[in-house]
Amino acid sequence: MKQLPEGEEKAQETKSMIDLMRNYIGYREYPKYSRINRYFVYKQALLKEAKELLQEGVIQDKEDIYYLTLEELREVVDTQKLDPRILSLRKDEYKFYEKLTPPRVITSDGEIITGECKRENLPAEALAGLPVSSGVIEGQARVIPTEVCPIKYSRVFLA
C-alpha cells in the first residue's frame, strides 16, 4: 500500500482503522448478550404465570404455555379460561413437525437441493463419503468405529 500514490498516508489510515476495529469488535456481542439476558427474565415471568394457571387448574402442565401465542396466553391469564382443543391441536402439530427431516441444503433463494451420492463401481472394502470442499487432498485417514461414534456409519477423518 505504501508504494501507491499517497501510499504512506493510506497505509497509516488503514492501520488506524484496523486498530480501531480490533479494539471495538467485541462490542458487537453486547446487543445479543442483552437480548439473551432479557429472554431469561421474560421466561421466568411467563413461568410464574404458568404456575398460577396450573394452581387454578386452567392448564394441566406449566409447559402448556409454550403451545400458546403471547396474545393467547394474555387472554388466558385475563379470563382464566382455555379451550383445551387449542393445546391438543398444537401438541399434535408439534409431534408432526418433530418427525420431519429438514433438507440438507437450502439455497439463499429458498430452493431445496436434493441428490444422492454415486456409489456404484466402488471396490468392495471402499468407504464412500461426501466431499466437504472442492479440490484434492492427500493425507492419512482415520476411521472412528461405530462403538466410539454411535451413528449409522463410521466417520472417516483426514489427519
Q: What range defines the domain where residue 93 resides?
A: 7-99
- Please report which confidence band the pLDDT of residue 32 belongs to, taking 50, 70 and 90 as the band edges: confident
Number of Cβ atoms within 10 Å of the Cβ of 67? 18
Is residue 111, in this structure, part of any structural domain at all? no
Is residue 129, in this structure, part of any structural domain at all? no
Instruction: Return the top range by mean pLDDT from 26-40, 61-75, 101-115, 136-150.
Output: 61-75
Domain count, the chain: 1
Is residue 156, in this structure, part of any structural domain at all? no
Residue 105, pLDDT score: 85
Instruction: Classify 98 as helix, strand or coil.
Output: helix
Number of Cβ atoms within 10 Å of the Cβ of 73? 19
Is residue 158, in this structure, part of any structural domain at all? no
- Looking up cell 437480548 gives 35
- Please report which confidence band the pLDDT of residue 131 belongs to, taking 50, 70 and 90 as the band edges: low
Number of Cβ atoms within 10 Å of the Cβ of 59? 21
Secondary-structure percent of the chain, ordered helix, strand, coil, rounded to 5: 50, 10, 40
**143 contacts: CB under 8 Å, gap ≥ 6:** 127, 154, 155, 156
pLDDT tens digits, 60-113: 999 999 999 999 999 999 999 999 999 999 999 999 999 998 888 888 898 888
**Residue 1, pLDDT above cutoff 80:** no
Is residue 29, in this structure, part of any structural domain at all? yes
Lowest mean pLDDT segment, chosen from 8-17, 58-67, 111-120, 145-154 = 145-154
Is residue 49, in this structure, part of any structural domain at all? yes
Is residue 53, in this structure, part of any structural domain at all? yes
**Residue 46, pLDDT above cutoff 90:** yes
Is residue 71, in this structure, part of any structural domain at all? yes
Closest CA to 90 of 72, 73, 59, 68: 68
